[in-house]
Amino acid sequence: MKRTSKLFKWIGLVLGSLLGLICLALIIVYVLSNARLNKSYTIPAVALTIPTDTSVIAEGKRQFMTRGCVDCHGDNGAGKPVIDDPVVGRIVASNLTAGKNGIGQQYRAADWERSIRHGVAPDGKPLIVMPSQEFYPISDDDLATLVAYIKSLPPVDSAPRPRQVGPLGRILLVGELVPVLPAEHINHTAPRPQVVTKGATAAYGEYLAKTCAGCHGQGLSGGPIPGMPADPPYPRNLTPDVATGLGSWTEADFFQAIREGKRPDGTTLSTAMPWQAFKVMTDEELRALWLYLGTVPAKTYGNR
């Protein structure tokens, strides 16, 4: 009798201290993540000259699709939920139009550049999960074209956006496991191409393929996206690995996958892969991407 009560006391003590440690760790995570969420960045932003002619706007729309903006900000630019999980967080992509709760009315030329390229809002705070690390290298020309299209969108009213990072989201942030705050992962003074030479070259393909890395991983070998709730199908291996990647695909197979969402074996790609947006890529862009994919080191599936 006495021995069991002693045992219970011990178990209680161990559990109590464990709970205390977890609470302490969570408090530290909250303090550290708050400091980073509220950090103010001073970015020497460039005020782009935004063209207004209609031919540029059509090209801007194509870039809105092929750079993946449409995937999170929606066809009408009014924003869609990006993360909706009580543990990870609730984040909705901004309404980019001039409608109610949209940014279109207040934004000035330098604000567009700072948000898209640097991941920093006009108030200096870092944007959450807006993948600016992929957009930093976009040339001035292409960025101005993209913004011209966004500014031409009809105003859409939206509700105020929830913007909350949950406990797991904060752990991912503090542990640097995923770029929760892309502004932290960008060298804000790195040189950028002023104009990019377009053409069916691997170099142009590398420029375009920045958009693929967010889902397919920096090494393009696919697998579950770290920090995101498990949600198959997972991004596939785009490296030239023969067994698990695109090693046995032809250029025609690649074109068919992006344009029609169909693999060489006839199976279809799910919409988790934004091929319906990417199918507006030109032959030149697809050829450039295919050439670039042929040059990346082969990796087996899931090594990101």
**Which stretches of the chain bind ligand HEC, using CB under 6 A?**
67-69, 71-73, 82, 91, 93-94, 96, 103, 112, 115-116, 121, 127-131, 135, 146, 163, 209, 211-212, 214-216, 233-236, 238, 254, 257, 263, 269-270, 272-274, 278, 289
Which of 253, 244, 243 has the alpha carbon at shortest distance from 290? 253
Measured from the CB atom, the residue of 115 and 158 that comes closer to ligand HEC is 115
Q: What is the nearest approach in angstroms of ligand HEC to the Cβ of residue 171?
A: 18
Q: What angle do CA 253, 247, 301 make, to 5 degrees?
A: 110
Nearer to ligand HEC, 34 or 270 (CB): 270
Taking the complex as a whole, the smallest distance from the CB of residue 283 to ligand HEC amounts, in Å, to: 14
- Alpha carbon distance 63, 171 (integer Å): 34
Name the minimum Å distance from CB 19 to ligand HEC. Answer: 33
Nearer Cβ to ligand HEC (171/287): 287
Radius of gyration, alpha carbons of the chain: 22
* Structure tokens given for 132: 């600016």
Smaller CB separation from ligand HEC, 144 or 171: 144
**Distance, CA of 254 to CA of 137 (rounded, Å):** 25
- CB of 236 vs ligand HEC, minimal distance in Å: 4
Cα distance between residue 74 and residue 76, in whole Å: 5
Distances (CA, A) of 23 to 89, 96, 139: 19, 39, 46
Q: Residue 44 corresponds to which tokens in the numbers above? A: 């020497």
Q: How far is the CB of 76 from ligand HEC (least distance, A)?
A: 14
Spatial separation of the C-alpha atoms in residues 201 and 287, rounded to whole Å: 8
Which of residues 233 and 297 has its CB atom nearest to ligand HEC in the complex? 233
Question: 271-280, long-range: CB within 8 Å, 24+ apart, which pairs?
Answer: 272/231, 272/233, 272/235, 273/215, 273/233, 273/235, 273/236, 274/68, 274/70, 274/71, 277/65, 277/66, 277/68, 277/70, 277/71, 278/65, 278/66, 280/62, 280/65, 280/66
Smaller CB separation from ligand HEC, 145 or 171: 145
Residue 194 near residue 204, CB atoms below 8 Å: no
In whole angstroms, how close is the CB of 55 to ligand HEC at the nearest point? Answer: 19
**Whole-number minimum distance, CB 196 to ligand HEC, in Å?**
15
Q: Give whichever of 16 and 64 is closer to ligand HEC, judged by the CB atom.
A: 64
How many angstroms separate the CA atoms of 232 and 203, rounded? 31
- What are the phi and psi torsion angles at 27 (to 5°)? -65, -45
Q: Which amino acid is at 191?
A: P
CB of 186 to ligand HEC, least distance (A): 14
The two most distant CA atoms of the chain are separated, in Å, by: 88
Q: Which C-beta is closer to ligand HEC: that of 6 or that of 108?
A: 108
